Structure 1
Amino acid sequence: MTVYDVARALPGIEELRDHSRGLAMLDAVLSPQWEGRYYSYDAHWSDTEQLASMKDGEGGEYTIVLSPAGAFARVFDHESPISPYGPLAGGETWPGVLDGVPDAFRAYLTEPAFLDEDDVHVTTACLWRETGDTAWRTGPVDLTELTDHEDPDGAARFLALLTDRTPEAYARWASAYYETAVDLDAVRHVLALRPLTQEVVTALHPGLDLADLAEDRAEIGYP
């Protein structure tokens, strides 16, 4: 799978926003220490923008900026053969990855948070969707020479829980990642953005107090 397959499987902007908030809230409950979390959400990234993000702790990440203009997503897989730091790319973002980004999102091509110290855009896959658009778009990336790689740009792996948004998918992933049993009914509750209760918190993380999550709930914008 490549970024093209992922683009067809991603949901609309509002569904993606809600699901991202649910993922971030689940991770906040399962990992009260922010440094140990995989998924995060900043509902106040700027006055007009929100940021859904993922960091795997090993150099892989994604960021999705949600704004009045729509959504702009970048993925970075440090193990990808098209990584700027790999032997094929020569220290530059792979050709085509950022081509075609519309004016509404051009500012993110120079956003310091997405650049390294040499001003290289640290991205192996890029997708965007303007408000009112009917599909996600990508640049004209040629990956035909990388057919021996199952996921050459990292998009399929890192965006897996945005393309498969079932509670079962998250529960399976979280059970392995956090090395603990994960209550499926509680996952369903949070991904549906239902009001967070002590009962749900206890089902996911025994001993954690609901009140301890107040700051996280505010940052995520969990309803």
Structure 2
Amino acid sequence: MITELRQRLKTLALLDAIIEPEWQYRYFSYNSKWSDSEEMGSLRDGSGGEWFLWISGQLAGYKCLSPEDGLMSNIESVNNKIPSSYDSFVSEPAFSMDKATCVWYLEKSEWVKFGLPIKWLIDLETVLKWYAIDYHVWATGYYEREINISVLEKIFEGSFSSDLAIKLNPDIEMDGLQIELEEIGIYL
């Protein structure tokens, strides 16, 4: 499960980094070097919706804030129910754990879920089911541009090269992308 989570979020962050070089306008991000032992994937929709996926070894925690879906009323009591092995996740200031729509943690390859269902934001379970065509439909609408589906398919299958990046975005500056790739944890 952790390998699948990591790979999918790295792929989405890679695609967004190629299509939209300006970080603040991207939807998906991934930092493979969040700390010495932690990684972090995120989604930000620019309208207040966001989620964070924290990975440390075989642990994974997920926090989602979808204002349109509402807020959990018992976030503090939920945070207290999460095992102490997740203290770094629960106490991370960047994740704003004082308010959430839902909070999940991974236990024996299954999500333990607290909170409300997500309907108005692309959630983690949705992106894990995405194929290249799903990302294509979403990204062409979000970025309002044509995107080469055959390149997306190759990247979703695990292939990546500077040639593919240029086919996806002919204006991409490879030096800038290289810095992004190192943070994501993808190497040419």
Structures share a fold, TM > 0.5? yes
The 3-state SS of whatever aligns with 2:69 is: coil
CA drift at 1:194: 1.9
Distance 1:134 1:14, change over 3 A: same
Matched with 1:135 is 110
Distance 1:211 1:65, change over 3 A: same
The aligned amino acid for 2:102 is A
Q: Give the alignment partner of residue 64 of structure 1, picking from 53, 78, 84.
A: 53
Structure-to-structure mapping, 1:60-139, within 5 angstroms: 60-81=49-70, 83=71, 89=73, 93=75, 97-98=78-79, 100-115=81-96, 121-130=98-107, 133-139=108-114
Distance 1:160 1:135, change over 3 A: closer
The aligned amino acid for 1:28 is A
The aligned amino acid for 1:207 is D
1:178 aligns with 2:143: yes
* Unpaired runs of at least 5, structure 2: none
Point out the structure with the larger helix share: 2
Distance 1:49 1:154, change over 3 A: farther
Whose radius of gyration is greater, 1 or 2?
Answer: 1
The aligned amino acid for 1:112 is P
TM-score under structure 2 length normalisation: 0.88
Q: Work out the CA distance in 2 between the residues paired with 1:99 and 1:154.
A: 26
1:166 aligns with 2:143: no
Whether the 8 Å contact between 1:51 and 1:65 is mirrored in structure 2 is yes
Question: Per-residue displacement from partner, 1:59-109 (whole Å, max 9, x unpaired)?
Answer: 10010011114111110012223x26xxxx4xx63x875463222113322
The aligned amino acid for 2:170 is P
CA drift at 1:159: 2.8
Whether the 8 Å contact between 1:201 and 1:209 is mirrored in structure 2 is no
The 3-state SS of whatever aligns with 1:182 is: coil
Whether the 8 Å contact between 1:97 and 1:138 is mirrored in structure 2 is no
The 3-state SS of whatever aligns with 2:64 is: strand
Q: Work out the CA distance in 2 between the residues paired with 1:99 and 1:176.
A: 40
Q: Work out the CA distance in 2 between the residues paired with 1:169 and 1:161.
A: 10
Q: Work out the CA distance in 2 between the residues paired with 1:155 and 1:138.
A: 18
CA RMSD of aligned residues (A): 2.3
CA drift at 1:191: 2.3
Identity %: 28
Whether the 8 Å contact between 1:114 and 1:122 is mirrored in structure 2 is no
CA drift at 1:160: 5.7
Q: Work out the CA distance in 1 between the residues paired with 2:64 and 2:129.
A: 17
The aligned amino acid for 1:212 is G
* Unpaired runs of at least 5, structure 1: 1-11, 144-151
The aligned amino acid for 1:216 is E
Q: Give the alignment partner of residue 53 of structure 1, picking from 39, 42, 63.
A: 42
Matched with 2:3 is 14
> How many residue pairs end up in the alignment?
187
1:27 aligns with 2:4: no
Matched with 1:189 is 154
TM-score under structure 1 length normalisation: 0.75
